[in-house]
Structure 1
Amino acid sequence: MSDFISRQQDVLRRIIREYNTGARSLNSLIINIETVANSIGNLRFSEEISPLILSMEQINAAMIEENRTLTDLEHGSVTEQLLRLEELTMKINQSAKT
């Protein structure tokens, strides 16, 4: 199982890297994070990342509704959520190894 989770971590890193380079929209980022989380199938992981995804979804909805790009504050918030996501995936991977 840990090999599978490690591969999913790699997918998440690629998705985040693509977002950070502008190759992926925030909406696409969110959808792909949800897809990876669902494929991992770990209830604890899903519960822990739900607030991170919700935060990004709220920012994305505001951007779409107001037809604008990210503000600096929103960009910082998304970056923080992505760092927390990386920490959670590492924690899940470690628990899968034990």
Structure 2
Amino acid sequence: MLSSRTYEPPEQPDHPRHRPPGHPQKHLVRYTKDILSSVIQESGFRTMPLDYCTPDGQHIQRVPGSLSSEYFQIVECADWPIVSNTNYIMRVPSLIIDGIKDR
């Protein structure tokens, strides 16, 4: 089962991900949609996966503007003009999980 991105080649062997635990340059973590979503949910937010890879390797990209009914499940989203598109995101594709705080 795949658990990480499939749209880019793997990192080189000297990449920080391959360094042993405790190494001063081991600062990167390869999050999956499920792991990052659980961290966001533990912080009290509802999650909205936008850009991620499925366990079978399919790359999913969703634009918030097409998900307005999912965003507005409980209350109006005050930041909707800002988050309704992904123009502000500098690195796409990337793992993007939006966190929504319901009031």
* TM-score normalised by the chain length of structure 2: 0.31
- If each structure's helix is expressed as a fraction of its own residues, which one has the higher value? 1
- Higher RCO structure, 1 or 2 (CA under 8 Å, sep 6+): 1
* TM-score normalised by the chain length of structure 1: 0.32
Q: Whose Rg is larger?
A: 2
- If each structure's strand is expressed as a fraction of its own residues, which one has the higher value? 2
